[in-house]
Structure 1
Amino acid sequence: MEENLVFSLEGHCRMNSQRIGRHLAIGSTWDRDKNVFESIDFSCLRSLTVFGEWRSFFISDEMRLLRVLDLEDAKGVTEKDLEQMVKFLPRLKFLSLRGCRHISRLPDSFGDLRQLQTLDIRDTSITKLPKSISKLQKLQFIRAGTTVPLDDDTGTIETQPAAAESPSHASLVSWLSERCIRRRPAASQTCSVEVPRGIGRLTALHTLGVINISVARRKAILKELKNLTQLCWLGVSGINRNNSQEFFSAISGHSLLELLVLYFDNDNEGCLDGVSLPPENLRSLKLYGLVGKLPVWIKQLQNLRILNLQMTMLPQEEIDLLGGLPKLAILCISFEEFQDGELRFRTGLKPLHVLEITCNSRLQSVTFPTLGFSNLVALKLHCCSVSHLQVFGLRCLDSLKEVWLSGSYDEALLKRHLGSQLDGHPNKIRPVLREGPRWS
């Protein structure tokens, strides 16, 4: 701030023609005085971040050097404002409209932002990308769609997959704290976007998703997807028995792909049978809405570090398959039905550091083996209408430091049951029982 690089507008500010800098943050407490704003010299401005209410005068033709515009959760942004942004900000490289729910479309002129590299339109009302987006040859990141799975996909793990390789205790606390503030989860839902013809020209794309492949033009979309060989992160919805073979064939040559997020249609039983093996370098795999069983190729993903499963039910023998993943560090599981009301880990998951289990009223017990979980640091139980749940084998988890408990449960009963095991834990430092938000 001493060097006039960064300045902010908060509360009530006086007019100051000397106020100048490269980075401006408009705080939610600022009184939105237009006269003050127009007295500022924006000729050197490179980035603008807006908190709270948006005003149309925040964009000026003096901002032609602006590179970064972050409007995440800003209120009152309109589609007319987007047209002004395209007109006045030709050098924009980063644009975030995340959480601007009143935005339902991008303007046809959007293709004029030829320098754009990152576009974040998650949690907006945009369901279709404009045809002109195919002109943005420098675009590397497209984050789109509105997803409300049990594990809300915000990117904490996705953008830092290396954290799963050797996570520190501090990073695990931060990661779980982030996840424990969420509200009661609903069933997995995703509102994805439809991509236009020509998306395959964006060969610099590193991140793409969530896109819908269940539309009528799915063959054309998958053909274009095959050209995007630089993808490292891909999220897709609408996978079913009619398109699963084509989809996996389209990404079979994507050797750089590390993170894959898949949302399945209701008609998906057996849809992964016989499909080709996904890229072998996958480090993170998330499957939402899959019915029946895991794909047979999952045990061949020797580099997999993060696995998120939200399914209707998974038989015991399928759970046992997870023991064959040599680098699995984070496992999140949620099933609508648990076989015999029990979740039993009969085989060890030695590399596992974090285990998250979403429980429902049909789950009565979780059991850990005597050996095989020597590196588990954090266990999270996310309960949905659970009156009685027993967890066996906590004393066998040698490295356990924390047990997180959140959701709807009989507080006295469950805390007493867990507390008695943690009190008798062999570790010199007793594992901590932490609580997230409770629901009635």
Structure 2
Amino acid sequence: MVLCRVNGFLRECICSQGMQENLVYELAGTCSLPQRTGRHLVILESWGRDRIVLESIDLSRLRSMTVFGEWKPFFISQSTKLLRVLDLEDAVGVTNDDVEQMVKLLPCLMFLSLRGCDQIFQLPRSLGDLRQLQTLDVTNTSIITLPASITKLQKLQYIRAGAAATASQGPTATTGNDQTPQAIVPVVSGFFIPDHPLRCVVPRGIGKLTALHTLGVVNIGASEGEAILKELKNLTQLRKLGVFGVSRKNSEAFSSAISSHVHLRSLSVWLEEESRGCLGDMSLPLENLLSLKLYGLRDRLPVLQVNQLSKLTKLHLKMNTLMDEAIESLGKLPKLCILRLCVNQPEYGQLRFHVFTDGLEELSYQKVKVLDIACRSSVHVNFGSEAMKKLELLTVECYYGSSYQFSGLGHLSQLKEVWLKGSYEEALKEQLQGQLASHPMEPVLKLEE
């Protein structure tokens, strides 16, 4: 993920302009009653949580609130009933009772983020009363189930959720007194995603939410997987979808379920361990994809035709064996910018990034700027003289038992940084330092254990 930091001076300019136009105001430090009010309130961690100050402010025009640091229940009241956006990402002290009060006092909410609030274990059944809600983010909370009333939220477009599943939790679960089976929905983030990602449970009836743009990650390998696939067909407006538990038994049904999802821009698929070869002959809706992530492949990719993937910019592959033929195919993708490969054993112990036709090397990987490699065995990584001419960042992930040998780094004419991560050996660090020292761009070697 690319992160950007706003220059402090620019931040002050942005904030001051917003305050001058009565759009935004903030509470920080030991500030008293602000001279102006606006439509967006920012409560900073440094503010003293003075209830008298907050209750002295006219909040009737407030439409958006962002809280950093400690949450206090008096932040919302009848005077904030027109609030549309409440962003509490990583706020401290938010509880189940606080969320229930939010639903009661803020009926106009369109955006609710509780991301990182780990003291929240469940959402109230009254969540279904937030009929204007479009985005719900409960990622990295302690929530493992979503209430059945969520299916009443016909305007909901984004569901982001995920808490670690407990050992006692099987492929299905029930919510409270509601004995309706639920489908597990693991949601994850990060570099190379694990085989068993974080999970949350959604109720049956998810197919009613036809406005959904983002859903993931749905476990179609659970006992209710067949019913979930049928409902998935109704979600034709999806732009981003993650699916867990694809197997030989359901791969054809899965392919059929998303065949009409022409708006898909991002697709993530996890395979069941015993079915890691089942994607080899499966057809997927790839024409409009910008991002494709496939986890748990054996040694074959799905049918990937260059003309089908003409828009693809990001590709993640986690597989047992990566064949030379597949590497050549990837090199022909015209717009591929970010490539991440996690491989147990490359074919012949080599990753050869080049494409040859009639004995002559062609230009390949022409748009790739970021390459991440993770390998669990010994591998020789070779860059051809006509490959990855625009590569700027190379990341190498090391595991216990893995070893790397690099050649052709000098061909990467735009290389700026090499990241070495994990359990790397001193010999690998010295090898990279030696090759980068003679590189015309003098790339920086960064180390992360």
Same-fold status (TM-score > 0.5) = yes
Asked if 2 retains the 8 angstrom alpha-carbon contact of 1:286 and 1:307, the reply is yes
- Taking a change above 3 Å as real, the CA distance of residues 273 and 396 of structure 1, as seen in their structure-2 partners, is closer
**Are 2:382 and 1:367 aligned?**
yes
CA RMSD of aligned residues (A): 2.6
Among residues 352, 361, 379, which one is paired with 2:368 in the alignment?
352
The alignment covers a number of residue pairs equal to 401
Q: Deviation of residue 111 (structure 1)?
A: 1.1
- Report the equivalent of 2:271: 264
3-state SS, counterpart of residue 190 of structure 1: coil
- Report the equivalent of 2:302: 295
The whole-number CA distance in structure 1 between the counterparts of 2:105 and 2:70 is 20
Q: Deviations 1:267-311 (Å, cap 9, x if unpaired)?
A: 322222432332421121011233332223365423222100122
Q: Percent identity?
A: 53
Among residues 309, 315, 337, which one is paired with 2:317 in the alignment?
309
Among residues 7, 17, 30, which one is paired with 1:12 in the alignment?
30
- Report the equivalent of 2:109: 92
**Are 2:443 and 1:435 aligned?**
no
3-state SS, counterpart of residue 297 of structure 1: coil
The whole-number CA distance in structure 1 between the counterparts of 2:389 and 2:288 is 26
Q: What aligned pairs does 1:37-436 form with structure 2 within 5 A after superposition?
A: 37-146=54-163, 153=189, 187-297=194-304, 299=306, 300-347=308-355, 348-360=364-376, 362-385=377-400, 389-411=404-426, 413-425=427-439, 427=440, 430-436=441-447
- Report the equivalent of 1:172: none
Q: Deviation of residue 244 (structure 1)?
A: 1.9
- Taking a change above 3 Å as real, the CA distance of residues 410 and 115 of structure 1, as seen in their structure-2 partners, is same
Deviates more, 1:43-52 or 1:232-241: 232-241
The whole-number CA distance in structure 1 between the counterparts of 2:283 and 2:66 is 44
Asked if 1 retains the 8 angstrom alpha-carbon contact of 2:279 and 2:297, the reply is no
- Taking a change above 3 Å as real, the CA distance of residues 61 and 291 of structure 1, as seen in their structure-2 partners, is farther
Q: Name the aligned partner's letter for residue 336 of structure 1.
A: N
Q: Deviation of residue 254 (structure 1)?
A: 0.7
The whole-number CA distance in structure 2 between the counterparts of 1:32 and 1:201 is 41
- Taking a change above 3 Å as real, the CA distance of residues 18 and 375 of structure 1, as seen in their structure-2 partners, is closer
Asked if 1 retains the 8 angstrom alpha-carbon contact of 2:400 and 2:423, the reply is yes
Asked if 2 retains the 8 angstrom alpha-carbon contact of 1:99 and 1:121, the reply is yes
The whole-number CA distance in structure 2 between the counterparts of 1:388 and 1:272 is 29
Deviates more, 1:42-51 or 1:28-37: 28-37
Instruction: Give the alignment's TM-score, normalised by structure 2.
Output: 0.82
Q: Deviations 1:109-143 (Å, cap 9, x if unpaired)?
A: 11111111111111122233222112212212112
Q: Name the aligned partner's letter for residue 197 of structure 1.
A: R
Q: Deviation of residue 385 (structure 1)?
A: 4.1
- Report the equivalent of 2:20: 2
Q: Deviation of residue 346 (structure 1)?
A: 4.0
The whole-number CA distance in structure 2 between the counterparts of 1:308 and 1:368 is 19
Q: Deviation of residue 186 (structure 1)?
A: 8.0
- Taking a change above 3 Å as real, the CA distance of residues 388 and 218 of structure 1, as seen in their structure-2 partners, is closer
Q: Structure 1: any 5+ residue segments left out of the alignment?
A: 155-178, 180-184
- Taking a change above 3 Å as real, the CA distance of residues 388 and 205 of structure 1, as seen in their structure-2 partners, is closer
Asked if 2 retains the 8 angstrom alpha-carbon contact of 1:137 and 1:203, the reply is yes
Q: Structure 2: any 5+ residue segments left out of the alignment?
A: 1-18, 166-187, 356-363
3-state SS, counterpart of residue 248 of structure 1: helix
Deviates more, 1:84-93 or 1:349-358: 349-358
Higher RCO structure, 1 or 2 (CA under 8 Å, sep 6+) = 1
Q: Deviation of residue 394 (structure 1)?
A: 0.9
Q: Name the aligned partner's letter for residue 273 of structure 2.
A: N
Deviates more, 1:346-355 or 1:78-87: 346-355
Q: Deviation of residue 344 (structure 1)?
A: 2.4
Asked if 2 retains the 8 angstrom alpha-carbon contact of 1:245 and 1:272, the reply is no
Q: Deviations 1:386-412 (Å, cap 9, x if unpaired)?
A: 78532100112233233233333235x
Q: Name the aligned partner's letter for residue 27 of structure 2.
A: L
The whole-number CA distance in structure 2 between the counterparts of 1:291 and 1:104 is 37
- Report the equivalent of 2:360: none
